[in-house]
Structure 1
Amino acid sequence: MRFLTVVAVSLACASPLAAQDQSASSAEVRPPEIPAKAFAARSQLSGAKLSPDGNQLASRSNVNGMDYVMLYNAANGAPVGTFAMGEGNRLNWVRWAGNQRLLVSASAYDEYNRYWTRLFVVELDTGELYSIGRKEPIRDGDNVIWVAEDGSSVLVSLQANPRHYPSVYRFDLTRDGKRDQVQGSRQGIWNWYADKDGNVRIGTGWYRKKLRVYYRGPGEEDIEMVDKIHLDDLEKENETYRYFDILRVEPDSDIGYVFEENEAGKVGLRRYDLARSEVVDTVYEHPQYDVDGAVFSRDGKPVAVTYTDDSSQVVWLDEKLGAIQKGLEAALEEDTVRIVSRSEDDTRMIIQAGGAADPGALYVYTPAEGTLEALGEMSAGVPFEHLAQPKAITYTARDGTPIRAYLTLPRGRPAEGLPLIINPHGGPYGIRDTLSYNSEVQMLANRGYAVLQPNYRGSGGYGDAFFDLGYGEIGRAMQDDLDDAMDWAVSQGIADPERVCLVGASYGGYAAVWGAIRNPERYRCAASWAGVMDWDIMLRHDRQFFSRRTTSRWRNRYEGKEERDFRLADVSPFEQVERLKRPLLLAHGTDDGIVNVEQYHLMVRAAKEQGVSVDELLIEDEGHGFSEVASGEAWFEALEKFLDTHNPAE
């Protein structure tokens, strides 16, 4: 438990509240065992956002399985209100609409296990909570593209029915407020953008292998197609194309801000002439990494950009805010210090500070007074001083490809002959692990395991060439990269080759089970949360969300174009179950709308028929992730018990 108080912040010197240095004694004393329940717990300050005037703070929380919107006095952190989302509604995000109204996105599953989202309004003056938008559930009912500065209305992009492209509607934010369509649908257009005055200016989307862009100039009534770029014009090897994403458009101007990939394959933040479809100038481009985020002021000007090396980094374009960032970093001396929310006039800010070995804490910063007042810890039950510090490593795959990975060693144990967990991330394409706090990794390290998280080929963040290396390599070269990670750890003397298991979720769950089937000589066991067990079934499930052409492109990405004799069944655990010889932990949620629970049931039955040891965990009313604290706790406890049986740390 860290000492939380009010800290005076100088922009020139550090405060005495520095994070504890763990390096000095990490190899000397074993930390106490931290309960799985503590690792699964969540902060009631999750997703904290300041009101525009800086007087109130809204956040998300989950108490006894129910999701709530929490409201606090931003000056002193005192709770002033709670709003229950109702049984079965999962809270996705909270956003301010003026100073006395909140927009809330919630999701649920219908009786056919179809995922939908809906938009709610919380009236802080009356405590009233009501939904807006279509009464019948739709998949994307919370796509807010603009909020009026006074919170009186919003623009929402909605589909009239699943067969139509979305239109844009203006909703008055009252229970019985009127709804007006302000922009009709256009064939192939999925994304609509408005300027800060609430004028719909741009629409983009892919249709019949062509990128369509509709544009409305300032003050113009009609919106017209300005670009119809054929995929072949942008296509590179393996059906990837130049990255282009519209972020903002300036009112009374043809100039907007976009993320755009240049000819060298580098994504930067650029000013863009939307009428002429050409770059005006580059606002920021990192020499090595893609820009992956941007922060804008209320008037639509960029004030910061972010990129990711091993962890997320921020570059402030606004000098004043940049100076504040430096002062906060000096005062808190944490690995990561972020300004996560600001009042409209920057008189109050919410600061989050932590690191890969520290879930962190939230503070209220008042620049005029130069003070940081602690709001609370993000995981109060996890003593950060007992956590393990991950580090970045690079190993070479068997084909010579360098692979970046993150290694977490248990504290208080020599880094020799340790039991090892290979922990592949989900996705798989375009997703990556970073050097950031991971409760599952920390729980495993706390139990005495070394944990290695490889960013195997196809992962995001390492450029197009590395991404394309994963094309057609599910279950093959992607899996080789995991095996090569194990070989690296063994060659370094860190891991005992007789005590290695695979643990993962989603695609990572698939990779864990497939690794145990493909290479039983390497792995003692495998544990999967919500893993894919049959790729053909997975693609059939995805058809309800994708067009025929998109489904075909996904299959091509999975299988690869060159080897038409290759079948996904060749790398599907269910289809290869007769090769399974290792113990499994299979876990899933019954309401998973991404990887259907059918995958779990098929594999459990098939494994039992082969006489393989299977630990089962089926969580009712749970989705692809852990919407309830109890679900995460159940997974951690089942995983701990399974590993203790089949790959004990001692």
Structure 2
Amino acid sequence: MWNTARLGLLVAAFLFATSASAEQAQKPAKAQAVESTKAAAASPKKTPLIPASAFASLTAFQSATISPDGKWIALRTMHNEAPMIVIVDAGTLKAVDNVRLGKEQQLVWFSWAGGNRILFSAGQLADVFGVEQRVTRLLSYDIRDKSLTKVGWRMKVPDGDNVIYTDPKGQYVLLSMQKTVYEWPTVWRFSLEATPEPDKGEKVQSQKAGVWAWFTDDVGTVRMGLEPRSGHRVFVWYRSGPDDKLRRVAKLTDEDEEEKYWDVAKIVSGSDEGFIFDEVDGHLVLRRVNYATHTPGEIIYANPDWDVTRALIADDGTPIAAFYTDDKRQIVWLDPELRAIQEKLEKAMPGKDVWISSRADNETRMLVWVGHEDDPGALYVYTKADRTLAFFANYRPELVQQKLAQTKAVAYTARDGTEIHGYLTLPVNRPAKALPLIILPHGGPYGIRDTLSYNDETQFLANRGYAVLQPNYRGSGGYGEAFEDLGQGQIGRAMQDDLDDGMDWLVKQGIADPARVCVVGASYGGYAALWAAIRNPERYRCAASFAGVTDWDRQLRYDRRFLDRKDRRAFRDWWEDKDKDFDFDSVSPAKQVSHLTRPVLLAHGKEDSNVPFSQFRVMREAAEAAGIPLELMIFEEAGHGFAEAKDEQRWYEKLEKFLRKHNPPDPQ
């Protein structure tokens, strides 16, 4: 287990006191399992309150990934309130090095470039030509000589980390870049060798008017560009090889049911054959395609009920795996050897979800996550040669011995007949009858969804005695085009109805007490919470919002500054749909705050670059002008989420106090 307070220069404290076997490591998790039906039938027992700090421990390691040669594991964590990448020897599981960023920077993503170099994106708010914008830059760290270098242009640009190809040997990358969002991007080749000269790159693809997205094949040749046009059209530009000219091979449009959507999955070098995500019968499938003739080929994998969201394809064009999400993330291994390994891992961990999260190129080692919706899980290292599964670390060490709540998938019918899926978590040792309810809508809103998986905030609220409903309201992703399109132009309207209808369903079931319901959320979920309290005070006793949107016109103007012409064309159409008379002020909490009669907890991070802190200020000022009291909470160093455990703990403790006052649970 790891203790972030004891991180040193080389994270020497990241050592394991014991070498637990897979069987030993899973025993504590088995003790947690409690069948919800038995809990409901049993007489109420006192459930120990788990400290908020246990839910706010912020996993000591995040996004762990193994190097292509299987020798190293890279993961990100926090140290002294700043993001840091830790490098671990995959054989000994000992930390050997780290890379630190400044407090003002956000670690957006990181990945391997060859076996000894790590690429990572650092983002922050910056002044660009007099306008505050989110900017990103690409950095490279060489494990061998511990050199840290910037890759790309010296100047601040809005999308300085758009890597479209990484050389497998780690010698160079291709970046699609533009100086401002008003220019078409060009593709540059930048060396990753030590101490490259700033701004010295080789242009490999000039800008082409209208083309905003470039794609390469598996050897780094720019082969395709997508040009979004007005009227929801996309022109596809393609070349068969490096010496060919780009030519338009397709026009995709919503009006053509046969060719209204597809997305690039893989372009194979030396061939016009490749793979796309195509829409068939309302769901995305993985299929072959001839790019030169734009002729679709065989369907490699399709699920009749769910979108295929991702695929793994070898450089030689061999499909390895397809991914989709029903209630849980699912992987379909098309490679028989990997499928056999998955089956063996699942057999070794009965009753648990098992996920191969990262693999070495030669399959010598793999990182394996094992957990469940009532178990935050643990990470293991699988070594193929001796078929061992070595325990690495628990994601939430303080919760290993705790009894956590069960979450189950549910579905209900909205008022217009639409089926809404979601997840219901009931408190342990409480009868499922007349419980206080928290509706917890996800962020996004479009294309995002909740899943049947462990969630800190859900478990924290359930431990405090609340039933928690996480509805995947219309517009949520993964359920197909038709369901996502139902959300167009429905912010504050039908999307909000879906939350109300979820409450009514639970009340009708006898599970929820209609007099004790509040809405809690972050980002769009924070908006939905605020709007619920204003729109339907007869339903909801209170609302708590973290980083919620309060003024839609102001937010959309802010968002458009980070969009290229492609996205701006369709941006407002998506939010407003065809209702040109719709006024966003009519569903903006800051504009309608005079109607607020319920208690509200309003929280925001000052470093938020997604929903800027100005959204907090405008709500606060509007409430003050209207004489409406709000409970306010400001996080000086937080962004659009919590980077520090202390801030997340403060939020949970404040939220608990707020809810106990305005929506009290049953006595423990």
Q: TM-score range by the shorter chain?
A: over 0.9
C-alpha distance in 2 between matches for 1:273 and 1:19: 50
SS at match of 1:121: strand
TM-score (norm 1): 0.93
Distance 1:26 1:127, change over 3 A: farther
Aligned to 1:99: 115
Aligned to 2:605: 589
**Following superposition of structure 1 onto structure 2, how do residues 364-375 of structure 1 map, counting pairs within 5 Å?**
364-375=381-392
Aligned to 2:141: 122
C-alpha distance in 1 between matches for 2:28 and 2:634: 44
User: Does 2:16 correspond to 1:5?
Assistant: no
Tell me if the contact between 1:60 and 1:93 (Cα under 8 Å) persists in the aligned partners.
no
The CA RMSD measured in Å over matched residues stands at 2.4
Aligned to 1:455: 472
C-alpha distance in 2 between matches for 1:146 and 1:556: 32
Match of 2:645 among 629, 638, 643: 629
Quote the offset at 1:447 in angstroms. Answer: 1.1
Tell me if the contact between 2:253 and 2:260 (Cα under 8 Å) persists in the aligned partners.
no
C-alpha distance in 2 between matches for 1:472 and 1:351: 41
4+ long deviations beyond 6 Å: 1-4, 14-18
Q: Deviations over 1:235-268 (max 9, x none)?
A: 9xxxxx9331102111110011111102x22211
C-alpha distance in 2 between matches for 1:495 and 1:367: 49
**Following superposition of structure 1 onto structure 2, how do residues 380-399 of structure 1 map, counting pairs within 5 Å?**
380-383=397-400, 385-399=402-416
C-alpha distance in 1 between matches for 2:299 and 2:473: 31
Aligned to 2:632: 616
Match of 1:214 among 237, 256, 280: 237
SS at match of 1:489: helix
Tell me if the contact between 1:7 and 1:17 (Cα under 8 Å) persists in the aligned partners.
no
User: Does 2:623 correspond to 1:607?
Assistant: yes
User: Does 2:187 correspond to 1:168?
Assistant: yes
Aligned to 2:505: 488
C-alpha distance in 1 between matches for 2:132 and 2:48: 42
Match of 2:205 among 167, 174, 183: 183
Unaligned runs of 5+ in 1: 236-240
Quote the offset at 1:549 in angstroms. Answer: 7.7
Quote the offset at 1:296 in angstroms. Answer: 2.6
User: Does 2:266 correspond to 1:255?
Assistant: no
Q: Is the deviation greater in 577-586 or in 109-118?
A: 109-118
Distance 1:442 1:510, change over 3 A: same
Q: Deviations over 1:352-401 (max 9, x none)?
A: 11121111110011122121101101122223642111101111112222
Match of 2:493 among 449, 463, 476: 476
Aligned to 2:7: none
**Following superposition of structure 1 onto structure 2, how do residues 550-569 of structure 1 map, counting pairs within 5 Å?**
550-551=567-568, 553-561=570-578, 563-569=579-585
Aligned to 2:378: 361
Match of 1:36 among 52, 69, 72: 52
Distance 1:134 1:320, change over 3 A: same
Q: Deviations over 1:500-523 (max 9, x none)?
A: 100011111111111111111111
Distance 1:329 1:4, change over 3 A: farther
Aligned to 2:226: 204
Tell me if the contact between 1:8 and 1:370 (Cα under 8 Å) persists in the aligned partners.
no
Q: Deviations over 1:69-88 (max 9, x none)?
A: 10101012111111111231
User: Does 2:244 correspond to 1:225?
Assistant: no
User: Does 2:33 correspond to 1:22?
Assistant: yes
Distance 1:384 1:408, change over 3 A: farther
Aligned to 1:238: none
C-alpha distance in 1 between matches for 2:27 and 2:592: 58
Look up the equivalent residue of 1:227 and give its one-letter code: A
**Following superposition of structure 1 onto structure 2, how do residues 229-378 of structure 1 map, counting pairs within 5 Å?**
229-230=252-253, 232-233=255-256, 242-262=260-280, 264-378=281-395
C-alpha distance in 1 between matches for 2:28 and 2:51: 27
C-alpha distance in 2 between matches for 1:365 and 1:508: 38
Look up the equivalent residue of 2:365 and give its one-letter code: R
Unaligned runs of 5+ in 2: 3-17
Aligned to 1:430: 447
Distance 1:369 1:19, change over 3 A: farther
Distance 1:243 1:617, change over 3 A: farther
Q: Deviations over 1:563-605 (max 9, x none)?
A: 4443222211112111100000111122222222222112122
Aligned to 2:177: 158
User: Does 2:163 correspond to 1:140?
Assistant: no
Match of 1:65 among 70, 73, 81: 81
Distance 1:307 1:338, change over 3 A: same
C-alpha distance in 2 between matches for 1:334 and 1:346: 25
User: Does 2:168 correspond to 1:149?
Assistant: yes
Q: Deviations over 1:405-450 (max 9, x none)?
A: 1100011111111110011111222221111111111111111111
Tell me if the contact between 2:88 and 2:97 (Cα under 8 Å) persists in the aligned partners.
yes
C-alpha distance in 2 between matches for 1:116 and 1:633: 29
Quote the offset at 1:15 in angstroms. Answer: 9.3
Tell me if the contact between 2:254 and 2:260 (Cα under 8 Å) persists in the aligned partners.
no
Q: Deviations over 1:486-540 (max 9, x none)?
A: 1111111111111110001111111111111111111110001111112222222
Match of 2:543 among 517, 526, 529: 526
User: Does 2:147 correspond to 1:131?
Assistant: no
Quote the offset at 1:126 in angstroms. Answer: 1.5
Look up the equivalent residue of 2:177 and give its one-letter code: L
C-alpha distance in 2 between matches for 1:107 and 1:281: 41
Quote the offset at 1:21 in angstroms. Answer: 5.8
Look up the equivalent residue of 1:472 and give its one-letter code: G
SS at match of 2:574: helix
SS at match of 1:140: coil
Q: Is the deviation greater in 266-275 or in 424-433?
A: 424-433
Tell me if the contact between 1:336 and 1:355 (Cα under 8 Å) persists in the aligned partners.
yes
Look up the equivalent residue of 1:70 and give its one-letter code: V
Look up the equivalent residue of 2:289 and give its one-letter code: Y
C-alpha distance in 1 between matches for 2:529 and 2:23: 48
C-alpha distance in 2 between matches for 1:118 and 1:638: 35
Look up the equivalent residue of 1:364 and give its one-letter code: V
Distance 1:197 1:549, change over 3 A: closer
Aligned to 1:507: 524
Distance 1:322 1:19, change over 3 A: farther
Look up the equivalent residue of 2:48 and give its one-letter code: P
What count of residue pairs does the alignment treat as equivalent?
639
Q: Is the deviation greater in 274-283 or in 467-476?
A: 467-476
Q: Is the deviation greater in 36-45 or in 321-330?
A: 36-45
Aligned to 1:193: 215
Match of 2:482 among 462, 465, 488: 465
C-alpha distance in 2 between matches for 1:254 and 1:474: 42
C-alpha distance in 2 between matches for 1:52 and 1:559: 45
Tell me if the contact between 1:509 and 1:529 (Cα under 8 Å) persists in the aligned partners.
yes
Distance 1:243 1:455, change over 3 A: same
Look up the equivalent residue of 1:133 and give its one-letter code: G
Q: Deviations over 1:31-52 (max 9, x none)?
A: 4222222212223331111112
Tell me if the contact between 2:305 and 2:479 (Cα under 8 Å) persists in the aligned partners.
no
SS at match of 2:399: coil
User: Does 2:92 correspond to 1:81?
Assistant: no
Quote the offset at 1:234 in angstroms. Answer: 5.8
Look up the equivalent residue of 1:173 and give its one-letter code: L
Look up the equivalent residue of 1:202 and give its one-letter code: M
